[in-house]
Every structure is written in C-alpha cells, then in structure tokens.
Structure 1
Amino acid sequence: MPPSTLFSSTFPKSSLTVFQDKSLFCFGIDAVLLADFSQVKKGGNVFDLGSGNGIIPLLMSRTTPAKHFTALEVQSESAALASKNVEVNHLEEKIDVICGDIKNVRTLFKPECADTVTSNPPYAKENAVRKNPNQAKNIARHEVLCTLEDVVCAAAYLLKSGGSFYMIHRPERLSEIFTTFTKYHLEPKTLQLVYPFVDSSPTMIMIEGRKNARPELKILPPLVIYKEKGEYTEAVRKIIAIAT
C-alpha cells in the first residue's frame, strides 16, 4: 500500500484542524493574507471561488462575523477534502462545499446572492510558464479550467450591488485586472502590494472590487512578508496570530 499523502495543520487559536493532501494543491501564506484582507459585514453571505481544501472559508468562519459561506471547487478530490475539513471542525451549518465549475455559476446559484466573494485563483495563463506535471496542481496554478475573466464574471454575477470581491493575484496582471473589473462593473476600491522582502519587487497584490460603486481607489501601505529569510515581519506575524 502506498504511503498516505494526507497531513493536517492545526490552528490552535481558531480551534481549527485543516487536512491537506500532498498530491493536491496545498495552501500557502497567500490564502492566510487574503482571508485577513477580506472584509465581511455582520450576517453576510460569502462565496469563495476555487476554494481548494476550503482554507479561506475555514479561516474566515473564525475571524469574521459572516453568517454563511459557500465554497465552490471544481476538482472533486479537493472538494471532498474541503467537505472533510468542514465536518472535522463541525462547521456543517456554516459552510457549504459545492463541487462545480466557476463558469457554471448561473446554473448553480441565483444572481446577487452574495455580500462578499473571495478568490485565490490560478495566477498564470495556461501557457505562460512551464506547467506542473501533477494535473491537480497544474489546474490550481494555471488557467487550464478557468481564466481571470471567468472568475471576475462569476464574482460579479454572485454579488449584490455594493458587495465586494476580494482577490489575490500577481502584480504583472494588474492592468488586466483593472480592465476586467471595469468590464463587469466592479470598481477597484482597495489595493495592497505584497513584497517578499523590503528591498524586493512585489510578488502579489490584494485587491477589492465593489459592484456598482463610485470610482475611488485606496492604496494601502505595502505588506512585507519576511524581515529576513525564514522570519516573518511583525505585520505578518500579527495576521498569522489572528488566523491561527
């Protein structure tokens, strides 16, 4: 019998246990940062697009006043793992996991049913960089099954007017993100650049787009992840402390 690829991560402060599978895409610091960046009003209804093992709804269920979460994941193995994580943490009444395609949101859900939508989508275009030989990880990292526009279009469909879409992505695609947001009536409202080190270029951006909002973009101070190799900055330690 081959060795198990399943392992668990614990978040003592949040009383969470999150199972991951080495053969599937495993979450990183970007998911934790996005969960902290995303804002939810009390009693809000949240959708997470491309949810993987459910890490973002799991974290936000502990750190926000949202009433309910829907985790949409196209890969059946990842969706099953997300369901397992929901059950292990006794969150069945708060988080629903749906195995389905982002491109099919119109057949899966009613329009304007979400107050907030989050997504940590594939960053790379399908043929932009060398693909991972592991197809599950390839789908999570490259736009094989969905594009940036597919994700933004789905978010806009789900959001109520005035609702917010929170996404983490790559800075080199920021111009495309702005253009796509505008096409689907999501006004960029908040932007934060994420740097691995203080003297490096940004490698991630976090952005909020608000549906049918007036133009006014707030740029937050840069977020630096590492003080030095292997040591988080105080700002990131605070975020992790809240989540974990």
Structure 2
Amino acid sequence: MKKLELIKDGETLDDLQVNGYAVIQKEYGFRFGMDAILLANFAKVREKDFLVDLCSGTGIIPFVIAAKNKVNKIVGIEIQEDMVEMANRTALYNDISRKVEFINGDLKDKELIKSLNKADIVTVNPPYKLINSGLVNLDNKDSIARHEICCTLGDVIEAASIILKDKGRLYMVHRPERIADILCEMRKYKIEPKVIKIVQPSINKPPNLVLIEGQKGGGKFLKWDSTLYVYNEKGKYTKEINVIYGKEDDKNE
C-alpha cells in the first residue's frame, strides 16, 4: 500500500516537524492542540520504558514521544473506534506500528486495564470539563474529547494507578481550576504528586494549563517547577516553546 492511500477523504496529514513524523487528523472536528505537545515534552521517557497513553484521541502524544525518544513500546487506549482506526493508520504511515499501537476500549473496563502489561509511564490528556458545565451534546465527538462524558477525572486516575508499576510515573495535562480535584484523586489512588508546572499564555495572563507528574507509591515531596510562558512581551513564542516545537529562535524577539 502506498502511504498516501492511508489518508482518507476529509482527513489531513500534518507534519510534526520532528524526524519526519506526521499525524493523520480529521479536517473538521477534534484536532490536537498545544496541550498535547506540552505533555509529550513534559514526560520523562527512558529507552526501555513501556508507556500507556489514556484518552489517546489522534495518538498525538505517543507519536511526539516516539519521534523524540527511543522507547520500547507505547499503547494508546481510546474509546472512539474511528479515532483508533485513524491513529493506527498514522502508525503505519510513520513505519512504527510494531512500536506504537492503539486499542479501542473503555478505560473504565477493569478487565481490559488489568490485562495490559504493567507500565513504566502513563500519559493522559483527559477531558477537562465537567459534564454539567454548559450545554453538551452527549453524542458529539468533540464533546466526548472535551467533557467528562465517557470518563471522569477519578476514572482516569484509577485506571492509571492500576496500569502503573510500583514507582511508575503518571504525566497529565489539565486545567488549573481542577488542580484540587486532581491532587485529591491522585492521593486517593496512591499516586503521589511530585512535580507541578503551570503554563501561562503570557506573563500578564493567568494560567490556562497545568502539567502534573505523579509517582505510584512515591514519597510525599512536591516540587513546583518554573512557569512555562507561551508568548513573550512581543507576542512571539518564547525560547522554551521554540525549543519544544523545534523552531529557531526569532532573532528579533
């Protein structure tokens, strides 16, 4: 099969600008954002690690991690069957289907979760919004990605705790307004918060994302990492964001 035949009508092929990797996405509908890219770069991955990505969507987090790191195996879990089929085509396109694969399943399915090999790392970019936050179309695929329709924050963290090895690490991106819920749920399921990194659009704007690292069975010590600013005072990407995206620094910043 020619690689371009893997891309269907209504889909786009987007260059990740890392080692020639690309990702297939719907032209209209849910598409990955900066939050997924930041999480993929926040996770500390070693060559022999087995990694599970929950709420995988397009598979962007596994693909960025695979592009930037030597990793043993990545399995993505996603409840929407069409997204899984598309992500597996992306793995074929990038010639990494032996190393990166996606499973159609519900993370609330305990039998499925327990059937997975114990993971060194779990990553997750879960739905941010509570089900009762505004009008929600329960059948809309964008709503499923953004609202806690198919799983709650507690469901996500419980699944991560089951999957992780003792001392394994959870990496999550979420909204700052949910931070109290996140920390409470992590401790409830024996994942100790270890690092928190706040993301702000700029120095004059409040945080809009939070990156959190937790360790299953870890000791009680929490580090507050330096804030990540997306734009500088001139409205251009900061040096840290340029490094994440593999871009040259703007000489005029």
Q: Is TM > 0.5 for Structure 1 vs Structure 2?
A: yes
**In 1, Cα distance between the equivalents of 2:21 and 2:117?**
30
Deviation for aligned residue 1:96: 1.5
What letter corresponds to residue 41 of structure 1 in structure 2?
R
Deviation for aligned residue 1:129: 3.1
Deviation for aligned residue 1:108: 4.5
Normalised TM-score (structure 2): 0.90
Q: Counterpart of 1:47?
A: 52
Counterpart check, 1:198 vs 2:199: no
Q: Counterpart of 2:142?
A: 137
Q: Counterpart of 1:236?
A: 241
Equivalent pairs counted in the alignment come to: 240
Deviation for aligned residue 1:111: 6.3
Gaps of 5+ in 2: 1-7, 248-253
Q: Counterpart of 1:175?
A: 180
Normalised TM-score (structure 1): 0.93
**In 2, Cα distance between the equivalents of 1:54 and 1:237?**
22
**Cα-to-partner distance string for 1:49-101 (whole Å, 9 max, x where unaligned):** 01011111011012123200001110011111101100100111101110101
**Counterpart mapping for 1:92-111 below 5 A:** 92-110=97-115
Q: Counterpart of 2:75?
A: 70
**In 1, Cα distance between the equivalents of 2:127 and 2:108?**
14
Contact 1:123 1:170 in 2 (8 A): yes
Q: Counterpart of 1:16?
A: 21
Q: Counterpart of 1:147?
A: 152
**Cα-to-partner distance string for 1:109-167 (whole Å, 9 max, x where unaligned):** 43661000000000000111343687000000000000000000000000000000000
Taking a change above 3 Å as real, the CA distance of residues 193 and 145 of structure 1, as seen in their structure-2 partners, is same
SS in structure 1 at match of 2:142: helix
Q: Select the residue among 186, 189, 198 that pairs with 2:191.
A: 186
Higher relative contact order (Cα pairs below 8 Å, separated by 6+ residues) = 1
SS in structure 2 at match of 1:103: coil
Q: Counterpart of 2:5?
A: none
Of 60-69 and 204-213, the range deviating more from structure 2? 60-69
Q: Counterpart of 1:58?
A: 63
Deviation for aligned residue 1:229: 7.7
**Cα-to-partner distance string for 1:4-33 (whole Å, 9 max, x where unaligned):** 431121134321111110344110111110
**In 2, Cα distance between the equivalents of 1:192 and 1:29?**
15
Two-structure CA RMSD over aligned residues (Å) = 1.9
Taking a change above 3 Å as real, the CA distance of residues 214 and 129 of structure 1, as seen in their structure-2 partners, is same
Taking a change above 3 Å as real, the CA distance of residues 133 and 23 of structure 1, as seen in their structure-2 partners, is farther
Contact 1:39 1:64 in 2 (8 A): no
Gaps of 5+ in 1: none
SS in structure 1 at match of 2:179: helix
**In 2, Cα distance between the equivalents of 1:211 and 1:65?**
23
SS in structure 1 at match of 2:246: helix
